[in-house]
Amino acid sequence: MTIFLFFIISIIIITSSLLVILSKNPIHSVLFLILVFFNTSILFLFSNAEFLAMILLIVYIGAVAVLFLFVVMMLDINITKLRQTFLNYLPTGLFIGFIILIELIYVVSQSNLNFVKTNSSDINISNQILENTKIIGNILYTDYFLLFQLSGIILLVAMIGAIYLTLRKSKGTKKQNIYKQILK
Amino acid sequence: MEIPIIYQLYLSIIIFTIGLIGVFLNRKNLIVLLMSIELILLSANINFVSFSNYYKNIIGQIFVFFNLSISAAEAAVGLAIIVIFFRKKGSIHVDDINTLKG
């Protein structure tokens, strides 16, 4: 039953991710991207990653995809026809994609995934007493605390960069003039 | 019943290839290119989670968490660049981006 559901969800994911890159209207692309994220979060639920499934719903669909949607609607792009240059890049793109697909499938099919099943961390998933979120919190706030704070700093830098890039330097905007402020 | 990991790996390979071909074939606008990059990151996330479930080790899921924050930052900065580019040129068609003559 689970494997049947997995196949259905995989087919939905593959079809809608093809439609993301092929549809002419960018708004349709964003909506299909949302469908891909939603189905991937269901896939994460199958893999016992409940916290990440919910985070994927909140962060990707709630923040990133809606941000894409806002930008697409704000920019007022006229849906132009595909220009002639589309065909120039078609053979190269398909060639590179095909080679990488063949190589990756070869690598995965030749690998024997029966390595030693490690129990590197004391608290692992098989411990059924704790929930998924608690396990992640226990490790994230102890062993990976530095990386956690580093990702926070990266988000801060991205926020400041985005604000600075999109700031209009026209007459209407209010700015702080430090010299004037000090001289008063 | 567990899903065999090999199926999840194949799924992630297919999504990765679709994203890669999307980067090459996309001649419409830059936003679809950013979406293709999101698809590539998503395939990496699927790999991380399936291996995390396979080895019963939580660290894969923690790296997915970091991956999500990095991709959110990347989307924010990329969309800001697209917005200011649209303000300057009035178009975000990929073929119009030739200022650097690369």
| Per-residue pLDDT at A122 | 46
- Asked if A55 and B65 come within 8 Å (Cβ–Cβ), the reply is yes
* CATH 1.10.287.3510 holds for B5-96: yes
Chain B residue with minimum CA distance to A158? B73
Look at residues A38, A48, A44 and name the one whose alpha carbon lies nearest to residue A17: A38
Pick from A68, A74, A148: CB nearest B35: A68
| Per-residue pLDDT at A82 | 52
Answer positive or negative: Cα dihedral of B2, B71, B31, B98: negative
Give the C-alpha separation, A26 to A78, whole Å: 10
The alpha carbon of A27 is separated from its chain's Cα centroid by a whole number of angstroms, namely 17
Domain ranges across chain B: 5-96
pLDDT grade, residue A105 (50/70/90)?
very high
- Asked if B10 and A108 come within 8 Å (Cβ–Cβ), the reply is yes
Let me know if A154 is exposed, middle or buried by CB neighbors in 10 A (0-12, 13-18, 19+).
middle
User: pLDDT tens for residues B47-80?
Assistant: 999 988 888 888 889 999 999 999 999 999 999 9
Domain ranges across chain A: 1-77, 127-167
| Conformational region of residue A6, where left means phi above 0, alpha means psi within -120 to 50, and beta covers everything else | alpha
* CATH 1.20.120.1200 holds for A1-77: yes
For residue A115, pLDDT over 80 is answered with no
Pick from A14, A94, A139: CB nearest B62: A139
Name the average pLDDT for chain A: 84
User: pLDDT tens for residues A146-184?
Assistant: 999 999 999 999 999 999 888 877 777 777 888 888 887
Q: How far is A22 from chain B (nearest CA, A)?
A: 8
- Asked if A17 and B39 come within 8 Å (Cβ–Cβ), the reply is yes
Which residues in chain B are contacts of A136 at CB distance < 8 A?
Answer: 58, 61-62, 65
